[in-house]
Each structure stands twice: as C-alpha cells, then as structure tokens.
C-alpha cells in the first residue's frame, strides 16, 4: 500500500528532544521523588494496616470503612466544607468588590495596592497571633467593641461554631490578596472601548456591570475560585494554631484529622485513607479544569 | 461639584478606608503593641496614648534565644529553596517555551496535575523515610520540600516570561555558534530576569512563612522562626502577649517590606501563574 505524503508525514517519528528532556528532568525528579511517588505509596498504605516500625499488612478497604464509620471524620468533613464554602465565596465577593473599586480609578494607586497586598506577606502563625489578640475575650479590641455595641462576643475558644467563624475570617484575611490580584488583573484587561460603547448606548452602571464586566470576568472568577477551593480544602495551620481542633475535637478539619490519626493515634492506615479521600476530592473539584488543561497542553506541544 | 458625583466620591472614600482598615489594622496593631508595656496591652478599655518601650524586645532577646536561631534557620532555608526552585524552574521553563513534543505535552500536564495533591498527604510516607535517611531536623529537607512545592508554578511563570523573548534571538546566537547551554546562560536567563524575580518572590514568601512542614520535619536544630512563634503561642497560656508581639513583628517586617517593594513582580507572577495554566 502506498502512503499519501500527508499520512507518511504524520506517521514519521518525531525525534526525541533530548536537550529538552535534560532541561526538565531536575523539576520532574523533585516532583516525582517528593510528591508523586510518596502519593502513590500513600495509596498503598491506605490499603494496609501499619504504624511506625511495623511491617504493613494488606487489609483491602478496611481503613476506608473505618474512616467512613468514624463520626469524627464526618465532623471534620462537615467543618471543612462549611469553612471552604464560607471562605471561598465571601472572599470572591470581597475580592470582586475591591477589584472593581480599584479599577474605577483612585489616587495613590501603588500605595493602596501595597496595603491590600500586605496580608500576603503575613505568616499563618503571625496572623493567628493578630486575630487571637483582636478576639481575646478579656482584652481583645473587637471583643470590647462588640460588648460596647451590646452584641454577643465571639467565644471562639469555647464554642465550636464561633471557633470556625474565626478560622474563616482569618483565612479570608490571609488569602484575599490572591483572589483580588487575579480579578483586578482580569478587570484591567477589559478594553475601555467596551465601556465607552455601552455608555453611548445609554447603559446604566448596573447594566454595564451585568452585561460587560461580569461576563468578561467569568474565566478569571472560575480560575480564582477553583484554586481557592483546592487550597482552602487543605486548611491546616489556621485551625491547628487557633483551636487545635478543640474543644473536644469539635473544630477539626480534614487535614487536622489526618494529622492526628497519623501522628497522635499512630493509625497510619486510616490517615492514608483520609489522605486519598482528600486527593480524590481535589481531583473531582478540578475535573473540568484538568480536561481543559489536557487539551491545551497537547494542542500546544503536539499539534 | 455635582451633588451625585459628590456622593459617589464620598462613598468611594468610605469604601477605600474600610479596605485599608481591614488589610492594615491587624498588622499595625501588633506592630504598635510590640512597643507597649504590659499595663497598656492589658488596659480595658484600650488607651489611645502610650509611652513606647523596648521591654518586649529585651525580653525576647534575653529569654527566647531560640527565636533568633530560628530566624537564621529561616534565612538559610529560604535562600536555599529560592536558589533551587528558581534555577530548576528556569531550565524547565526554557524547555517548555522552545521545544515541541508529546513528551513535553504529557509532562506539562503532569506538572500542573501534581499541584492538586495536598502537602499533608505526602508527609505520611515522607516522615519515616526522612527519619531513615537521617534528614529529619535538617535545613536540606525543608529546602527540598519548599522548592518542590513551587517548581510547578515556577516553571509555568518562567515559560510565560521566556515566551516573550523572540525565538529569532536564540536562532541568531545559534548561527553564531553558541551552544544550548550558552544560549540559556548568556541570553535567556538575563532576558527573563523579571520572571526569575517573580518566581523568587513566591518562594521567598512561602519558605519564610511556612508552618506545616517545619512543624512535622524539624524539632530543634533546623527549627524555623514561625515554628518558634507557634511554641510561644502555646506557652502563653499565662499570656505573655508583649514578647509574642515583638517576635511576630521581627518575623514579619522584613518580608512585608520585601513584598511591598516587589509588588509589581508579585502581581505579574500571580497573573502569569494563574491564567496561563
């Protein structure tokens, strides 16, 4: 059979780009050795019974059954979902508001930008110091202000719901700069002419927002929200440093639950099962993004 | 002035003031309070005026020597992680910008896919492995961990920046007899310096502030500053707020100054990393 030139072209072997492989190998070595292989090993661990210094024994899905039957797991899952939903969506609203405010033209922009980005530089540990002090029941400024206004105090150390509210507040404060920057950059990328045209057509500011700004911001909003979902889901330090999961394990989130299972209760199998449930949740959340990414990558590198 | 536009600018000023208060008040509060004597910290209701004192800093130096070795550890780990992440990301970013092949498509996907795995998950097998290798409580393990968790983003950001350098520049150098290594070192890296700074900003902020890995993998010798502060929080049940404020201020000020100075690069890196993914 004779091959047409185009077919022969497509079946011809593309030479392996050895220099490129050499250049990307350090990055892939790091990721493979530190993240990928250990993650696969966690999958194996999750099917075994083991603790420190013991030989793992294969137990099938017993660990998953154990974890899924543990009320503390469900409590941690519920807390995580609650905090993630509050944090990501409030953060989106606030970030959008600040981005639009800044895009409307203000004086002293570099200074204002620096101020809004400042929490990005703050460590979780220092942020916990700040917010614990602000909400300290005896001397905290916010607690005193609430009392002065006749409002009830946020009893974050005693009341689990209040504890989670403080965790959420703290998380929003720390991560607002990220959401803001993504949305602000996207808003600045919208051509001015679109607004001029809308104005000529007599669109009110609200109509301009709904018909021009919002539709054009959707891709950036989706990206910002996706990243924040994935990162908020791993929430650990804020909870650990603020409440330690207490009182009575009532404010644990999934990462804290995993940590305690592994490093306090020595239940590596259960911790590994929890870990894989965390990974799976992230993958499911990001499925549409991964599909788009997969197509993009092959369109760019192997057309 | 038109009454409606007056109202609008008035509301805008209120909104900007609220945004500034939200972002800066917690930071200013610990900064100011670090210069307060105990009687002012514990004053109810809060007093506006106070006479500044260095007592908290003196107490920090005399009683928490650990904190300063923590700062030194943080510095070593941050510098190491930054160099490792920036160099490897720049090399990979160059390859992803200039070469085309199925292997690169698959590996680029893998690079971003891996970001979905939460750090705490991999501590389970790494903890015994790191102990067995004798790397527990060393700077090296934190350097490698911090760099690894940023090479994905770093590679993306570097690729975006290197894409902006015209290919003709490489080709001209190639015709003049430059090798790939020379092109990378003498042309690409200097021209993509902004990208390297953007990557460095991410890694520096992350490595300087990170808590989880430091908490799990270090105990004494390589303990970083955030970990020491967290121990101080644990120790303040009697509540030594003053020392805690002083330590937080010392840990925060250099990195805050750095972020403010490098804000242009931070914004460029964040947008390149999030949108080009």
CA distance A164 to A181: 26
In what helix (H) or strand (E) does residue A175 lie, and over which residues does it extend? helix A160-188
Q: What pLDDT is stored for residue A12 in this prediction?
A: 53
Q: pLDDT tens digit string along A186-242?
A: 999 899 899 989 989 988 888 999 999 999 999 899 889 988 999 999 999 999 999
Q: Is the pLDDT of residue B204 over 90?
A: yes
The total number of residues written for chain A in this structure: 303
The CATH number for B252's domain is 1.10.3720.10
Whole domain around residue B168: which residue ranges? Answer: 55-275
Q: pLDDT tens digit string along A9-37?
A: 444 567 888 999 999 999 999 999 999 99
Q: Is residue B23 part of a domain?
A: no
Q: Is the pLDDT of residue A167 over 90?
A: yes
Of A118, A241, A297, the CB nearest to B105: A297
Query: Which comes out higher in pLDDT, residue A200 or A51?
Result: A200
Q: What is the mean pLDDT of residues A268-290?
A: 91
Contacts of B45 in chain A (CB under 8 A): 144, 148
Q: pLDDT tens digit string along A282-292?
A: 899 888 888 98
What chain A holds in terms of domains, given with CATH numbers, is 19-58 (no CATH), 62-301 (1.10.3720.10)
Q: Is residue B16 part of a domain?
A: no
Q: Is residue B35 part of a domain?
A: no
Residue A58 DSSP one-character state = E
Q: Is the pLDDT of residue A169 over 60?
A: yes
Asked if A48 contacts A58 with a C-beta cutoff of 8 angstroms, the reply is yes
CA distance A13 to A11: 6
Q: pLDDT tens digit string along B72-118?
A: 999 999 999 999 999 999 999 999 999 999 999 999 999 989 989 99
Q: What pLDDT is stored for residue B1 in this prediction?
A: 52
Average pLDDT, chain B: 91
Which of B107, B124, B155 is the mutation pick for testing A, counting most A CBs within 10 A?
Answer: B124
Q: Is residue B45 part of a domain?
A: no
ipTM of the complex: 0.92
Range in A263-267, B37-41, B260-264 the model is least confident about = B37-41
Of B41, B101, B122, the CB nearest to A14: B101
Q: Is residue B144 part of a domain?
A: yes
Q: pLDDT tens digit string along B128-165?
A: 899 999 999 999 999 999 999 999 999 999 999 999 99
Q: Is residue B193 part of a domain?
A: yes
Confidence of residue A53 (pLDDT cuts 50, 70, 90): low
Whether A119 sits inside 8 A of B27 (CB atoms) is yes
Nearest chain A Cα distance for residue B30, angstroms: 6
Write the CA distances from A111 to A162, A240, A261, B269, integer angstroms: 34, 33, 46, 19
Q: What is the mean pLDDT of residues B20-30?
A: 95
Single pTM value for the model: 0.92
Count of structural domains within chain B: 1
CA distance B217 to A216: 44
Whether B91 sits inside 8 A of A39 (CB atoms) is no
Query: For the residues of B110-152, what is the DSSP string, one character each?
Result: HHHHGGGS-HHHHHHHHHHHHHHTT-TT-HHHHHHHHHHHHHH
Neighbours of A295 (CB within 10 A): 11
Residue of B nearest to A292 (CA): B277
Range in B6-10, B168-172, B212-216, B257-261 the model is least confident about = B6-10
């Amino acid at each position: 059979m004779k091959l047409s030139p185009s077919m022969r072209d497509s079946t011809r072997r593309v030479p392996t780009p050895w220099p490129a492989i050499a250049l990307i190998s350090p990055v892939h070595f790091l990721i493979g050795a530190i993240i990928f292989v250990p993650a696969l090993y966690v999958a194996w661990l999750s099917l075994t019974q083991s603790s420190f210094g013991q030989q793992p024994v294969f137990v099938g899905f017993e660990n998953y059954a154990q974890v899924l039957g543990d009320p503390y797991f469900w409590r941690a899952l519920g807390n995580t979902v609650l905090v993630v939903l509050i944090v990501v969506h409030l953060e989106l609203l606030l970030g959008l508001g600040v981005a639009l405010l800044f895009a409307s033209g203000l004086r002293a922009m570099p200074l204002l930008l620096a101020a809004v980005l400042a929490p990005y530089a703050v460590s979780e540990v220092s942020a916990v110091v700040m917010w614990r002090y602000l909400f300290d029941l005896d001397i905290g400024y916010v607690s005193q202000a609430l009392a002065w206004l006749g409002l009830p105090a946020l009893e974050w150390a005693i009341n689990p719901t209040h504890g989670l509210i403080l965790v959420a507040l703290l998380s929003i404060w720390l991560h607002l700069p990220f959401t803001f920057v993504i949305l602000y950059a996207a808003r600045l990328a919208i051509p001015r002419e679109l607004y001029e045209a809308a104005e000529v057509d007599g669109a009110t500011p609200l109509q301009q927002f709904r018909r021009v700004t919002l539709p054009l911001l959707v891709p950036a909003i989706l990206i910002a929200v996706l990243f924040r979902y994935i990162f908020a889901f791993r929430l650990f330090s804020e909870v650990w440093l603020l409440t330690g999961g207490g009182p009575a394990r009532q404010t644990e989130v999934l990462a804290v639950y995993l940590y305690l299972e592994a490093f306090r209760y020595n239940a590596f199998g259960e911790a590994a099962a929890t870990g894989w449930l965390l990974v799976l949740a992230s993958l499911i959340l990001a499925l549409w993004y991964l599909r788009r990414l997969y197509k993009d990558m092959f369109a760019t590198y192997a057309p | 002035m038109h009454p409606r536009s007056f109202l609008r600018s008035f509301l805008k000023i209120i909104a900007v003031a609220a945004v500034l208060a939200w972002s800066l008040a917690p930071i200013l509060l610990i900064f100011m309070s670090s210069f307060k004597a105990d009687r002012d910290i514990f004053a109810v209701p809060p007093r506006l005026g106070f006479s500044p004192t260095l007592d908290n800093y003196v107490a920090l130096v005399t009683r928490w020597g650990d904190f300063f070795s923590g700062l030194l550890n943080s510095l070593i780990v941050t510098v190491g992680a930054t160099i490792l992440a920036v160099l490897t990301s720049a090399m990979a970013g160059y390859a992803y910008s200039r070469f085309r092949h199925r292997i690169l498509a698959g590996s680029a996907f893998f690079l971003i896919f891996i970001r979905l795995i939460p750090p705490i998950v991999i501590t389970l097998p790494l903890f015994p492995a790191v102990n067995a290798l004798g790397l527990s409580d060393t700077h090296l393990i934190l350097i490698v961990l911090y760099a690894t968790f940023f090479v994905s983003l770093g590679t993306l950001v570097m690729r975006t920046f290197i894409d902006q350098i015209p290919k003709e520049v490489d080709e001209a150098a190639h015709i003049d007899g430059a090798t790939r290594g020379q092109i990378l070192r003498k042309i690409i890296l200097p021209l993509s310096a902004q990208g390297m700074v953007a990557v460095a900003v991410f890694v520096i902020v992350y490595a300087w502030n990170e808590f989880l890995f430091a908490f799990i993998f270090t105990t004494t010798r390589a303990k970083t500053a955030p970990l020491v502060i967290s121990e101080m929080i644990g120790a303040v049940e009697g509540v030594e707020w003053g020392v805690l404020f002083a330590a937080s201020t010392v840990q925060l000020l250099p990195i805050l100054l750095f972020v403010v100075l490098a804000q242009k690069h931070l914004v460029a890196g964040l947008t390149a990393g999030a949108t080009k993914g």
